[in-house]
Amino acid sequence: MTYSINLEPKLEDQLRAEAARLGQTPSEFLKTIVEEYLRAARKADPAYLLTRPQEEQDRSLTAQAGRAAPVYEEQV
């Protein structure tokens, strides 16, 4: 599937520079970004988490609690 997006010149320059830094073409870099975003979004979905083995659920919830603790402490 092919998409076309319009980027401001400054953003296009940043995209090209970051892709080059990683040894990728801009298209490869964008594909990687989309894949990583969608993977992270799926993992953040509670319904997805419930389909995973109990051990993975426990690890995920423990990690999330660890990230939330500092925020909670700031609020208290």
CA distance 8 to 62: 41
- Measured CA to CA in angstroms, residue 8 lies from 14, 15, 72 at distances of 10, 11, 38
CA distance 12 to 9: 5
For the chain, the structural domain boundaries read 9-75
pTM summary value: 0.60
The confidence score (pLDDT) of residue 5 equals: 92
pLDDT in tens, 7-54: 999 999 999 999 999 999 999 999 999 999 998 888 778 888 889 899
8 A C-beta contact, residue 29 and residue 19: yes
Q: Confidence class of residue 75 from pLDDT cuts 50, 70 and 90?
A: confident
The confidence score (pLDDT) of residue 45 equals: 83
